[in-house]
Amino acid sequence: MSRLHKTRRILFIRAVWFAGFAFAILSNSAVVAAQFRAGPMKIDQSTFAEQLKSLKAANPKMTPAEFVTKANELLDKNGVNFAISFDAATCDRIKKVKMAQKDPNAPLKLGATLKSVDADGASLSLPEPRFPSSADCNCFIELPLLQMTNVDFITILYGRNIKFQMPANFSTFEAFLLDAKDGKTIKRKWRIPFRGIPIGISFDENVLYLGFPDPELDDLSFAVFGEGVFQIATRSEAEDGGKGKLIKTAAGPTEDSRMQFDRWQKSFIVSYKSPCSFAP
């Protein structure tokens, strides 16, 4: 093992060139990184949602089933923009660097070294971070993902599907299936790409269906499987067995909302957070 492998045991985030030097923001992840001599590889955001809306506009008479087939082809090729949040301390450091720029509104150059599952570390250029105004939303980036688990995720890099280990200071949006009897015990957790409203759950409790925020995509639903993979389904599939009813609305920044589905002679309660808001 090289000296670099022995000493560089943190995930780092590189910010803008400021006053002639690279300002480094360090985090506490125990990821073994290997330095690349070449420049960082750029991860571009997915245009999946935009392509879906364009597809619908170009084919207004397309049936929901036909739309789903085309949508899954696009998903396999492009991935979905999956929000990856940083911890509060890292967000504060990134924001300070951004505000210290000559033009605070200029894009921030953000990078990271992540360890792939099958190889050494890769130096990556990340998309521009977003800073929500919601009290319960940390800053986040959006990566084009095909799968997200508790320990790793698959992203698209130069047309290839690459699996990276999940750093300790990365987090995601989540939704939870609660025990219908006590409304507290967590039976299942899903890592979700965006804070969408749950519109369905499968009979075996493995699949959570989210509604798209775009009205043009009302015919579709976003299916998140317990194994961490995604798929597009029709809205009618998501609502099979009965639509959900809101039984609790978030009362504060740390509160959750709850959707109850009464179907197949069973009750399912899903806890989720409202979408992040952004200052105008």
Whole-number pLDDT of residue 22: 27
Structure-block tokens of residue 48: 């999946």
Q: Buried b / exposed e across 22-56, counting CB within 10 Å, b at 16+?
A: eeebebebebbbbeeeeebeebeebebbebbeebb
First vs last C-alpha separation in the chain:
50
Burial letters 152-169, b for 16+ CB under 10 A, else e: ebbbbbeeeebebbbbeb
Q: What is the mean pLDDT of each run of 10 residues along the chain (280 residues)?
A: 26 26 30 41 93 96 96 97 92 89 84 78 86 88 95 91 88 95 93 96 97 94 96 97 90 83 96 86
pLDDT number for residue 254:
67
The whole-model pTM stands at 0.83
**Residue where the block lists tokens 């925020």:** 213
Q: Which pLDDT does position 39 carry in this prediction?
A: 62
